[in-house]
Structure 1
């Protein structure tokens, strides 16, 4: 991972900006580190010419091209869940989410209402949040998904997702891998449910 940020600081930063209510995806989100800051009070005198530039922000990386090895933990049982536990011969979708994120809740509600269309897709919800906050996510926002054999809610205890898969700019972040384990598509933030369903099953 490039840049001087630790995994923990990235996790904290991601948590603070977890749910962007602007409704745009990462391709349209500003990457200007000064956006929202007022620098009008600075004068030439307060900014000497010898000032060193701020440290470079980490560059956005492409997601993992194929599903990497990982170990997450099932929220309900605490048992480990690894790459070898993913049922084969079907698409697998990783959804990185925050239980308190409104867009994550809305997407899950929409997916639950369309469960019959995605019943042949592995749906893996991943979060670095406290499992105590995650355990009621599906019962509250996706009752039709709760308890289904193709749906798991997984705790990323060691922040493996942002180390091995991708560091998204906002939640929810969706990553669709084919039956061969290779990345087919991904997006972050809001997306029309019809487009989501199409991406999940293609």
Structure 2
């Protein structure tokens, strides 16, 4: 084989490998998108979330049985989740989202917010239509784990505890 050809192939492979290594994973931090907050009927952007708290984004469908069971689990473990910021996001109609919120009395919890994902950004970002989908972010809003389908609550609580007790980020 011609040494020039080998050199060109090596150079091309090296450049491609370098380019891939330099690409930033867009799922690394909380994706930026607009949400219609159902409590106040105002729009906020996820870029406005501050740091300092574990954050869970939950993509859900109010009529989904697993989503309802997930909500029951969250209520059962509300004390362990009190320092965790939770955002329930759905593409469904606001009235259905509010009915779900009110049925589970989520309005009683300061750390839980409901919103309508007006551009279906979360499902697009995670390339899924699965509900529930939970994305857990650390105190610096870096993605730690994604649960597609109902999360194992023991595992979820363990991850949150590990994040909370890790060195300040």
Q: Which residue of 2 aligns with 1:148?
A: 109
Q: Which residue of 2 aligns with 1:23?
A: none
2:59 to 96, 105, 108: 96
CA distance in 1, matches of 2:72, 2:55: 19
- List aligned pairs for 1:122-161, cutoff 5 A: 122-140=85-103, 142-143=104-105, 145-161=106-122
CA distance in 1, matches of 2:26, 2:59: 12
Q: TM-score, normalised by structure 2?
A: 0.74
Q: Which residue of 2 aligns with 1:49?
A: none
User: What's the CA shift for 1:65?
Assistant: 1.3
Q: Which residue of 2 aligns with 1:183?
A: 143
CA distance in 1, matches of 2:143, 2:149: 18
Whether the aligned pair in 2 keeps the contact of 1:121 and 1:201 (CA below 8 Å) is: no
CA distance in 1, matches of 2:78, 2:50: 18
Query: Relative to structure 1, is the Cα distance of residues 187 and 82 closer, same or farther in structure 2, using a 3 angstrom cutoff?
Result: same
2:96 is aligned with 1:112: no
Decide which structure has greater strand share. 2
Query: Relative to structure 1, is the Cα distance of residues 171 and 200 closer, same or farther in structure 2, using a 3 angstrom cutoff?
Result: farther
CA distance in 1, matches of 2:50, 2:67: 24
Q: Which residue of 1 aligns with 2:154?
A: 194
User: What's the CA shift for 1:139?
Assistant: 2.1
Q: Which residue of 1 aligns with 2:38?
A: 75
CA distance in 1, matches of 2:109, 2:154: 21
- The C-alpha deviation readout for 1:122-170, integer Å capped at 9, x for no partner, is 1000000000111021221x32x3232211001011212233x312252
Whether the aligned pair in 2 keeps the contact of 1:103 and 1:172 (CA below 8 Å) is: yes
**Size of the alignment, in residue pairs?**
138
CA distance in 1, matches of 2:47, 2:26: 20
Gaps of 5+ in 2: 1-24, 163-169
Higher RCO by CA contacts (8 Å cutoff, separation 6 or greater):
1
Q: CA RMSD in A?
A: 1.8
Query: Relative to structure 1, is the Cα distance of residues 112 and 175 closer, same or farther in structure 2, using a 3 angstrom cutoff?
Result: same
Gaps of 5+ in 1: 1-61
